[in-house]
């Protein structure tokens, strides 16, 4: 099985070995690609040490913070160039449980993209800080209403059948930050890709801290209005 797991990182030193161990416990043949945005906490040393122990680990170190969206796009380019069959994208913070990957891969027999949904379980995000729950639910409502996107579109835990995904379609999502997550899913839906939502529970982050800032939320709101105008009013 030609499976690549792309994991963007920014100051996740304590989570590197843990997430790798969890992934390999369920997908022994997977290859991991860490894409680091110039972490300052020793994350890069952890990744290098992991690579020395396991040749199924690779990495791309970037000179500055370029955004989670640009990391996902870079990971997709890497996967296509190296002729992987499947791609999984997930966070490094421990909130995306690799135990779901096997099921996601099975669903790719019938779908092009498998997306994880945190909202259908009553306690799907209840362990998060209250302010983050509120902001996430507001964003989910706005994206669903304005773009008719009935998925949990702001999470980064997804699985792709690379034989079905046109790289140029994926790269049409131009945002390099968090808004890429919903924008890319929206574009794939507009292009008539078959997308499947599965329900997951996200545990509370145990190590490190969230990288999302208030300015990211504000930027995402204005970007959503822009996409709404382009696709729902002018188009």
pLDDT digits (tens, 9 = 90+) for 109-131: 999 999 999 876 655 455 556 66
Cut 0.85: pTM above it: yes
Contacts for 21 with CB less than 8 Å, ≥ 6 apart = none
Mean pLDDT of 6-14: 95
Residue boundaries of the structural domains of the chain: 3-233
| Top-confidence residue, 1 or 201 | 201
DSSP state of 204: P
Task: Give strand ranges (E) for 68-173.
Answer: 86-89, 113-117, 158-161
Give the pLDDT score at 95.
87
Tell the CATH topology of 3-233: Spore Coat Polysaccharide Biosynthesis Protein SpsA; Chain A (3.90.550)
pLDDT at 30: 97
Of 150-154, 162-166, 169-173, 209-213, minimum mean pLDDT range: 209-213
**CA count, 13 A, side-chain hemisphere, 230:** 11
Residue 138 has pLDDT above 90, yes or no: no
For 165-184, what is each residue's pLDDT tens digit? 999 999 999 999 999 999 99
């Amino acid at each position: 099985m030609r499976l690549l797991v792309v994991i963007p990182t920014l100051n996740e030193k304590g989570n590197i070995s843990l997430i790798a161990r969890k992934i390999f416990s369920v997908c022994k043949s997977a290859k991991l690609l860490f894409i680091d945005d110039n972490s300052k906490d020793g994350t890069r040393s952890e990744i290098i040490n992991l690579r020395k122990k396991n040749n199924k680990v690779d990495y791309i170190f970037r000179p500055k913070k370029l955004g989670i969206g640009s990391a996902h796009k870079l990971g997709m380019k890497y996967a296509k160039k190296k002729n992987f069959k499947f791609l999984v994208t997930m966070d490094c913070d421990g909130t995306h449980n690799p135990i779901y990957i096997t099921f996601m891969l099975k669903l790719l027999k019938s779908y092009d993209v498998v997306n994880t949904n945190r909202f259908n379980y009553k306690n799907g995000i209840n362990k998060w800080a209250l302010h983050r729950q509120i902001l996430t639910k507001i964003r989910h409502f706005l994206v669903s209403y304005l773009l008719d996107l009935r998925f949990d579109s702001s999470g980064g835990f997804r699985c792709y059948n690379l034989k079905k995904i046109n790289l140029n379609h994926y790269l049409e999502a131009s945002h390099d930050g968090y808004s890429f997550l919903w924008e890319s899913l929206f574009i794939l839906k507009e292009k008539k890709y078959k997308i499947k939502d599965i329900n997951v529970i996200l545990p509370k982050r145990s190590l490190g801290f969230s990288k999302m800032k208030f300015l990211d939320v504000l930027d995402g709101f204005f970007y959503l209005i822009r996409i709404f105008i382009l696709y729902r009013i002018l188009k």
